[in-house]
Structure 1
Amino acid sequence: MNRRLIVYVGEHWPTQPSTPWVVLDDRGQAIEQGQSDPRYWPAAEHCEAVLAAPLCSWIEVKLPAGARREPERLLRYAVEDRVAGDIDHQHLTLISQRRVDDGVLAAVLVCNRARLREILTALAACNRPALHMYAELQAEVGEGEDWTLALGVAEHGVLHPGPGRARLALDKAACEPLLAHLLDQARRAGQAPARLVLRYQSGAGGLDAGMLAERLALPVVEGAPYCWWSCRNSAADLLHGELRPAHRRTGWYRRLRRPLALAGTAMVVFFLANLGEVLWKKQQLAALEQRMQRLFESAVPNTPAVAPALQLRRHLDEMRSKHGLLRQDDALTLLAAFVDSAGSGARGALSAIDYEAGQLKLSLRDASALNVSEVAGRLAIKGYRLRQNEDGTWVISQEIGR
């Protein structure tokens, strides 16, 4: 039988080591329960923890619809003004989301990160490392539209003010005035409950239901016993992200060890193949550069090679000009490049042509007949640049550096 030990972590644990615990079987039924310090906790296959309600805050914030990038950062920004102290010292756990008219209403549990680390370290020191940790605020407290107040052996209670509303930890000593204040707010908002249900943990002190009903002007009834460990299967685990237990990560690693080894081997082979290809291409590039250098020295002697490709292109243009041939930036060459790139769309498209200092300016009858990006891409392949002015004219020039 798989036994789970669930430990209640109160506000003063481990300074005050004695704390409630319960052992559950495979079906989630309690087979043992008690209160003691870690030396007397019963044996179990693994340990879980329930964090006392005062150690967490249940906060509901509205997020913009469609905001999916960096959800952790967005939650921290939304919760920041609702949290006492530095938000960077808090550990956030998203427990639910529901769509509203103008966005998403998110429920978030906020706990102090240093306190959680202290608890995890203490449990590990007791040789009871926590596999999971839940908040008492997530316990199955109430159902329906009634308000439910759950009272355990600790000095606080948990108020569940109906479905879809944030749960609260209430100090037992100030329970009545706090309830009266919250009820007054609910009545003003038109959300007053029909009754208040009281649930007690075995051995916990109770409230006078009759006197409480008189003071709150609300029917008060006693419900089923309160089980602080009864969290739903869908309850959010507080141990995620940087607080995820190492032994839980190890379990996943064991199951994925062979696939990971295979993937690692494939990555090594892929890396070596790419490295060989890079070295081979580097050798080819070096050979091409040497050949270009030899061609440059033979074509343009006594000239230092700064940018051989550009210098050879300019030298070629100078030689063409000397022999009466067209240069790469002559008007006819630029016009031929445009016609070739524009294709059949160039027929009848031009209304005026102007050429000056290596730039061909074209005025179009109907600019929408030609796709600017397609023509510019084809010209770029040929070594030319296309620029469109604000007045709709196109300017074609030789690409600098080619």
Structure 2
Amino acid sequence: MNVLRIYFSALWRDSTSPCPWALCDDSGAVLQQGLSPLASMPKTYHCIGILSADRVLMFTAPQPPGNQRRWQAALPFIAEEHALTDPDDIHAVPAATSQADTMAVSVIAKSWLKQIVAATTEARLPLRRLIAETLMPDLSAASWTLVWDGSSGFLRTSPTTGLTLDSGDHETPPLALLLSLTAAGTHPPRQIELRQIQSADVAVSPAQDLPGWNLPVPLVRGEAWDWQRAPIPEAIPNLLWGDFAPPMRLFESLPKLRPVLFILLAAFIIEVVGTHIEWAILAQEKHALTQQQEHIFHAAFGDDSTLVDAPLQMQRNLAASRHAAGVADTTDLIPLLDSAAQVIGTLNAGSLRSLNYDSGKLELDLKLAQSVDFDALTKKLQSRGLKVRTSDMHDLGDGTSQAKLTLSLEALQ
């Protein structure tokens, strides 16, 4: 996934201000780079803002007592004495340190940060992370890292703290560096690694002379510094914190899942299209079957007949024709009784409690000695060509069972 790095220095004022940028791939290789306003930068899924060291003030302070929500609200007032500005314009971001009950605090001007967030939003650049350049260089154990361009730069003193440096040259060290070494007291760094800022028009040679600063700790040369290509560890605090925290992304991994989602979407479309085609075929077959039924009905009973429900009207007309010819129909009472009487007549007296006939169905209310007797009776009736449906079976409590049998003829006997 490509990542757009945007460098915000003290020269940036608003959305019209040009600023350096670099489009990098997953390995950190620079694909494109340039200097332009935000609206002219390449659009990508993920953007990281990098603030120059002189825009972020860092210090350590004792962690206030109480719960986290209460002391987080007090951070701007804690930072006031260090930033020397109105607390209402202070955006303070806490970070853990190696010392218990001590926190590192990064301070940014809230009004300037609001402009960055508003400008990137207007330019449709999804700014999800904002970090200080001060914390980007690698930090060796018991060492400090100094990034220098010959007259200014910045110093990283710990995983979560650093400071900006100015007013120095090849012979005179920056005053802030000397003060930091003095403040370290009996715990100075083992060495200071100097990384020269990489410039497009000035090549940095490993054999280039080190500044003659005569420091109390060794000064060693490191690799050239280039914010465009430097790795960005996840441990670097995100300055988009608190009120500036980006909204949660429900589909943070969408680019990685995109091929799978496309496959699922294609399968869903195929399923929907296939279902519609199947329903269309079934609807066509139903229509053809209905037309065939209507054609048979009109051929049998004439075209003058009003047709509403072909199967029902065919059954009724067929029954009427049989009655007119003196032939019993399957829905008549007599054929049903004739088929059932030979089986029901073998039951004990009093077994048949009631008999009802309605719409071609004969309902018998029977009382038998055991419930298993109903199974045997059902098989006998079915052998006579009857459809049998048993319902409402229950035990009477006197050793007998009662149930209702609904009978209908399967075919004309």
TM-score range, shorter chain: 0.5 to 0.7
Which residues in structure 2 correspond to 1:3-402 (within 5 Å)? Answer: 3-14=2-13, 17-27=17-27, 29-38=28-37, 41-64=41-64, 67-68=67-68, 70-100=70-100, 104-151=101-148, 156-161=152-157, 163=158, 166-171=161-166, 173=168, 176-178=173-175, 181-182=178-179, 185-186=182-183, 189-203=185-199, 210=209, 212-216=211-215, 218-228=217-227, 230-245=231-246, 248-249=247-248, 251=250
Q: Compared with structure 1, are the counterparts of its residues 49 and 180 closer, same or farther at alpha carbon in structure 2 (3 Å cutoff)?
A: closer
Tell me, in whole angstroms, the C-alpha distance in 2 between the residues paired with 1:51 and 1:134.
Answer: 6
Give the SS at the match of 2:115.
helix
Counting helix residues as a fraction of each chain, which structure ranks higher? Answer: 1
TM-superposed deviation, 1:64: 4.6
Paired letter, 1:23: L
Q: Compared with structure 1, are the counterparts of its residues 71 and 184 closer, same or farther at alpha carbon in structure 2 (3 Å cutoff)?
A: closer
Tell me, in whole angstroms, the C-alpha distance in 2 between the residues paired with 1:12 and 1:69.
Answer: 34
Tell me, in whole angstroms, the C-alpha distance in 2 between the residues paired with 1:200 and 1:73.
Answer: 39
Tell me, in whole angstroms, the C-alpha distance in 2 between the residues paired with 1:45 and 1:165.
Answer: 27
Tell me, in whole angstroms, the C-alpha distance in 2 between the residues paired with 1:165 and 1:191.
Answer: 17
TM-superposed deviation, 1:70: 1.0
Q: Compared with structure 1, are the counterparts of its residues 30 and 201 closer, same or farther at alpha carbon in structure 2 (3 Å cutoff)?
A: farther
Q: TM-score, normalised by structure 2?
A: 0.51
Q: TM-score, normalised by structure 1?
A: 0.52
TM-superposed deviation, 1:251: 4.1
TM-superposed deviation, 1:235: 1.8
Give the SS at the match of 1:79.
helix
Tell me, in whole angstroms, the C-alpha distance in 1 between the residues paired with 2:41 and 2:148.
Answer: 23
Tell me, in whole angstroms, the C-alpha distance in 1 between the residues paired with 2:147 and 2:210.
Answer: 17
Q: Compared with structure 1, are the counterparts of its residues 167 and 198 closer, same or farther at alpha carbon in structure 2 (3 Å cutoff)?
A: same
TM-superposed deviation, 1:63: 2.2
Paired letter, 2:165: L
> Contact 1:210 / 1:220 at 8 angstroms: preserved in 2?
no
Give the SS at the match of 2:231.
coil
Tell me, in whole angstroms, the C-alpha distance in 1 between the residues paired with 2:72 and 2:127.
Answer: 24
Percent identity at matched positions?
23
Paired letter, 1:224: E
Tell me, in whole angstroms, the C-alpha distance in 1 between the residues paired with 2:248 and 2:240.
Answer: 11
Stretch deviating more after TM superposition (83-92 or 125-134): 125-134
Give the SS at the match of 1:115.
helix
TM-superposed deviation, 1:214: 4.4
Deviation digits for residues 288-335 of structure 1, max 9, x if unmatched? xxxxxxxxxxxxxxxxxxxxxxxxxxxxxxxxxxxxxxxxxxxxxxxx
Tell me, in whole angstroms, the C-alpha distance in 1 between the residues paired with 2:5 and 2:176.
Answer: 30
TM-superposed deviation, 1:9: 0.7
Paired letter, 2:175: L
Tell me, in whole angstroms, the C-alpha distance in 2 between the residues paired with 1:42 and 1:21.
Answer: 9
Tell me, in whole angstroms, the C-alpha distance in 1 between the residues paired with 2:137 and 2:174.
Answer: 25
Tell me, in whole angstroms, the C-alpha distance in 2 between the residues paired with 1:250 and 1:184.
Answer: 43
Q: 1:323 maps to which residue?
A: none
Tell me, in whole angstroms, the C-alpha distance in 1 between the residues paired with 2:211 and 2:180.
Answer: 13
> Contact 1:151 / 1:201 at 8 angstroms: preserved in 2?
yes
Tell me, in whole angstroms, the C-alpha distance in 2 between the residues paired with 1:157 and 1:124.
Answer: 30
Deviation digits for residues 109-142 of structure 1, max 9, x if unmatched? 1111100011122223333241221121221342
Paired letter, 2:102: L
Give the SS at the match of 1:91.
strand
Tell me, in whole angstroms, the C-alpha distance in 2 between the residues paired with 1:72 and 1:184.
Answer: 30
Gaps in structure 1 of 5+ consecutive residues: 256-402
Tell me, in whole angstroms, the C-alpha distance in 1 between the residues paired with 2:177 and 2:91.
Answer: 31
Q: Compared with structure 1, are the counterparts of its residues 173 and 129 closer, same or farther at alpha carbon in structure 2 (3 Å cutoff)?
A: farther
Larger radius of gyration: 2
> Contact 1:151 / 1:157 at 8 angstroms: preserved in 2?
yes
- RMSD of aligned C-alpha atoms? 3.5
Q: Compared with structure 1, are the counterparts of its residues 115 and 72 closer, same or farther at alpha carbon in structure 2 (3 Å cutoff)?
A: same
Paired letter, 2:58: W
Deviation digits for residues 41-61 of structure 1, max 9, x if unmatched? 334223221111111111210
Q: Compared with structure 1, are the counterparts of its residues 13 and 219 closer, same or farther at alpha carbon in structure 2 (3 Å cutoff)?
A: same
Q: Compared with structure 1, are the counterparts of its residues 250 and 196 closer, same or farther at alpha carbon in structure 2 (3 Å cutoff)?
A: closer
Paired letter, 1:160: R
Gaps in structure 2 of 5+ consecutive residues: 255-413
Give the SS at the match of 2:154.
strand
Tell me, in whole angstroms, the C-alpha distance in 2 between the residues paired with 1:150 and 1:79.
Answer: 25
> Contact 1:213 / 1:220 at 8 angstroms: preserved in 2?
no
Q: Compared with structure 1, are the counterparts of its residues 200 and 21 closer, same or farther at alpha carbon in structure 2 (3 Å cutoff)?
A: farther
TM-superposed deviation, 1:69: 5.3
Give the SS at the match of 2:78.
helix
Paired letter, 2:161: A
